[in-house]
Amino acid sequence: MQVYLVGGAVRDHLLGHPYHEKDYVVVGATPAQMLDLGYQPVGKDFPVFLHPKTKEEYALARTERKSGTGYHGFDFHTDISVTLEQDLIRRDLTINAMAMDDAGQIYDPYGGQQDLNNRVLRHVSDAFVEDPLRVLRIARFAARYTSAGFVIADETLALMQRLTESGELNVLTPERVWKETSRALTERHADVYFEVLRQCGALKVLFPEIDALYGIPQRPEYHPEIDCGIHTMMSLQQACRQNYSLDVRFAVLVHDLGKALTPVEELPRHIMHEERGIKPVNDLCDRLKVPTYTKQLALAVCKEHLKCHQAFNLKPGTLWRLLQRLDVLRRPERVEAFVQACECDSRGRLGLEDRAYPQAQYVLDAMQIVRAIKAQDLPADIQGPDIGEMLIERRIQALGELKAQQTVSIE
């Protein structure tokens, strides 16, 4: 019985990157032996066990054979005769197909260390095309490691295109697509994930609403980058640059989906694109089963982002109603996230990446002002429905005073 650390932990160890999750493969053992040693079984499809003390996962070495469609369509075989090399060859990338023993010796039968040194993401074998989830995983790895200079090998990208064309992406469950996508969105270069998916044709299959933005023109005086798809990726880059939350990054990703629905005769203007965007945002979120809060913020940003850009010109009552729709009294964090997403939209433009966005502080100041006005501050003789009416009146009055203090003119 031999135990090896495998996968991402070995890869990141060699790269000098921090890692927290550890996976192990056990060669030459039976399920009965693992149970006798106190390991707890957790796997249904193949024997995986939890260490009795650390609770880390230990999987018996296995081989696999394609038997159906999708990433569940495999038959697994475990036996004491299965070698480490046989187990590693079923993995996706060479840099993930390495193992390390307790003495620190590296086992690298498929050239993972060379690809690490050359900064190449390369598939281990042609069995890569048997698992459609690998298209998303490779795109996510590209997003994670692009800052270190990693690129996808041409032959691997070709296999990703082949997988896309096979139709197997359609069998991926919404939960799995969202899991990979949400993880990719938290990467430092999340935009690379979507660019890679577009390169291999998967963006059109899994995210047709985003793919449709490419080739749609915008007015160059406002959008020097012109293309809506490029603007979306530049905006997402801004969200990553500021290390904003997953919710903000997703809202930025979908904020302009309505522009793909602009009638051709209206281009490059996009009148009412906010309203047109509601349906595709809803469709995408419902299809992928996006979490409720994430969806709500995305819809708010889609529908209201122009109002944030125009904040200095809004009447006090209009600004109050915007804050109300954002649930300012109960969820101030939503207002903050909304402002962050709008800031990314403003800066996600060619040559304007570092421009000031004073509207952000103005809306946040407005949020603090209205939240500071409470019922207990009203005269004691104000009762019943009059309380709500006077609170609104005072909040709008306070926003009027804030507006009067502003000297910044926004076109």
- Phi and psi (nearest 5°) for 25? -115, 140
pLDDT tens-digit series, residues 361-402: 999 999 999 999 987 776 766 777 777 788 999 999 999 999
**Topology classification of domain 1-110:** Beta Polymerase; domain 2 (3.30.460)
Neighbours of 256 (CB within 10 A): 27
Say what the pLDDT of residue 409 is.
44
Lowest mean pLDDT among 40-49, 61-70, 84-93, 383-392: 61-70
pLDDT tens-digit series, residues 152-170: 999 999 999 999 999 999 9
Tell me the pTM: 0.91
**351 burial via Cβ count (<10 Å: 0-12, 13-18, 19+):** exposed
Model confidence at 68, in pLDDT bands (50, 70, 90)? low
Say what the pLDDT of residue 65 is.
67
Q: What is the mean pLDDT of residues 54-69?
A: 80
Neighbours of 111 (CB within 10 A): 16
Say what the pLDDT of residue 378 is.
67
Q: Comparing C-alpha atoms, which of 140, 132, 126 is closest to residue 183?
A: 140
> Rounded distance, CA 187 to CA 145, Å?
9
Angle of CA points 67, 68, 69, to nearest 5°: 145
Which residues define the annotated binding site for Mg(2+)? 21, 23
Strand partners, 6: 23, 99
Which residues define the annotated binding site? 8, 11, 21, 23, 91, 137, 140
**Which two tokens mark 252?**
């930025």
Strand partners, 58: 24, 49
Strand partners, 151: 120
Which residues define the annotated binding site for ATP? 8, 11, 91, 137, 140
> Rounded distance, CA 159 to CA 170, Å?
16
Say what the pLDDT of residue 406 is.
82
pLDDT tens-digit series, residues 97-149: 999 999 999 999 999 999 999 999 999 998 899 899 999 999 999 999 999 99
Say what the pLDDT of residue 107 is.
97
What is the DSSP annotation of 279-324? HHHHHHHHHHT--HHHHHHHHHHHHHHHHHHTGGGS-HHHHHHHHH
Cα four-point dihedral sign 136, 141, 146, 149: negative
* One-letter identity of residue 68: G
- Give the start-to-end residue ranges of the domains of the chain: 1-110
Position of tokens 């995305």?
Answer: 298
